[in-house]
Amino acid sequence: MNPTNVPANSSPPGEPTAWPNVVVIIPFYNGADFIERSVKSVFEQSVPAHEVIVVNDGSRPEERAALDGLAARYPFRILDKENGGQGSARNAGVAASTSEYICFLDQDDFYLPNHIETLVSSIPADDRLFGYIYADLYEADGDGNVIRTGVIKDHAQHPKRSIFDLLRYDMFVLPSATLVSRKAFDAVGGFDSQFMGYEDDDLFLRIFRKGYSNHFVDKAVTVWCIHTASTSFGIRMVRSRFKYFKKLVQMFPDEHQRGRYYLREYLMPRFQLFFVNEAIEAIKKDDQYRGEMTAVLDDYAAIVFANPYVGRKKKLRLWITLFLLRRSTPGMVRFIGALTKLPGIRSLRKVYKS
């Protein structure tokens, strides 16, 4: 522990340096299989949280009952609300808390023992526009078995220094490995509750644009558990990704005079492959959401076709992809997918993946 690094305003003048108040907020939705592991990790911290709030986001009654039994053993507060997604649940938790700093924890993740201590002690004492600080994490399966001991440096630049990088790439700033200033959180209005996926990227991008700082600690503080029931999978993520794409298109119109073409240079390279591949997979598997996923691709294409700064070749490739998919059966898509893997068919592969 290094209390000399704790922010200078964390205790009154003349008194010994103290750790600032931190709240941990855990959104809970039908997560009885995981929640005890998460809660236990919070109460095993080397520096305790001042507040711990579990926000029940409209879980089934039998799942909600698991929280009561857990609360008898751990002193956390339960906040009940109608289902609205993780962003909405996190906002409700923040609104019900008073702490200066905010930590989030997804119900299926868990903290390493020095999570709070590491993040709080790394806040620069002279940063008057402190926004958030984040760290690396372990990747694990749903049972918590570790797969990798470092994740985020393989995927993006850290800390965040350019809006162009925030638009071109997924941010890989995970709420479960982040400590946020309440001042910055309130300044941008918290999470955008329309999203059930990408709400974290949206929040941290808005904090960046507001002029608040961000800092990165090259050390794992959280275990990030990935499994097919997590919010990274499913139709909700598809819907939310497209909503986020549309929000970014509106937030960042092209600036021809400054030579900044946000759709062409940043948003298309980031999102197009997702939309195309999700439609392809839905057709291939004859998924129940096939119509919705192909409609998302159609709507995406309409935005691209209407943009005067996207080149003809890019538009043509996308048009050919749409033409083929609209006429494809599951068997045809599987055949085309296999065909494009053969040596020497690079042009067809290029069309298929554009």
pLDDT, one tens digit per residue, over 63-111 is 999 999 999 999 999 999 999 999 999 999 999 999 999 999 999 999 9
Confirm if 81 and 183 have CB atoms less than 8 A apart: no
Report residue 219 as tokens: 């050390």
Residue 256: the pLDDT is 96
**Position 217 pLDDT exceeds 90:** yes
Lowest mean pLDDT, pick from 25-39, 291-305, 340-354: 340-354
At the second CATH level, the architecture of 3-225 is Alpha-Beta Complex (3.90)
- How does residue 338 score in pLDDT terms, banded at 50, 70 and 90? low
Distances (CA, A) of 229 to 124, 174, 324: 37, 18, 32
User: What's the pLDDT band for 23 if we cut at 50, 70, 90?
Assistant: very high
Residue 298: both structure tokens together? 């159609």
Q: Which residue has the tokens 């329309």?
A: 194
- Three-class DSSP category at 308: coil
Sorted by sequence, the CB contacts under 8 Å of residue 266 that are 6+ apart come out as 164, 167, 168, 252
Pinpoint the alpha helices (H) of the chain: 35-42, 61-71, 86-95, 115-121, 163-168, 182-187, 199-209, 235-251, 262, 268-284, 290-306, 312-326, 330-339, 346-353
Which among 287-291, 303-307, 319-323, 343-347 has the top mean pLDDT?
Answer: 303-307
Task: State the average pLDDT for the chain.
Answer: 88
Q: Any idea where the domains of the chain sit in the sequence?
A: 3-225, 235-353
pLDDT band, residue 157 (cuts 50/70/90): confident
Asked if pLDDT for residue 216 goes beyond 50, the answer is yes
Q: What angle do CA 65, 68, 74 make, to 5 degrees?
A: 145
Reported as a single tens digit per residue, the pLDDT across 49-70 is 999 999 999 999 999 999 999 9
Q: Find residue 24's DSSP bridge partners.
A: 52, 103
Residue 20, both tokens: 């600032």
The more confident residue out of 345 and 30 is 30
Query: What confidence tier does 233 reach under pLDDT thresholds 50, 70, 90?
Result: low
pLDDT(185) > 50: yes
How far apart CA 271 and CA 306 sit, in angstroms, is: 17
Q: What percent of the chain has pLDDT over 90?
A: 72
Residues 311-334 pLDDT 10s: 999 999 999 989 988 877 766 666
Of 79 and 153, more confident? 79
Number of Cβ atoms within 10 Å of the Cβ of 237: 18
Give ∠ CA 149-152-156 in degrees, rounded to 5: 155
CA distance 310 to 256: 12
pTM, to two decimals: 0.87
Q: What percent of the chain has pLDDT over 70?
A: 86
Amino acid at 253: P
Provide the token pair at 354.
Answer: 């554009």
Average pLDDT estimate for 125-141: 94
**Whole-angstrom distance, CA of residue 335 vs CA of residue 264:** 30
pLDDT greater than 70 at residue 339 = no
What per-residue confidence (pLDDT) applies to 249? 98
Which band of pLDDT confidence, cut at 50, 70 and 90, is reported for residue 162? Answer: very high
Mean per-residue pLDDT, 271-281: 93
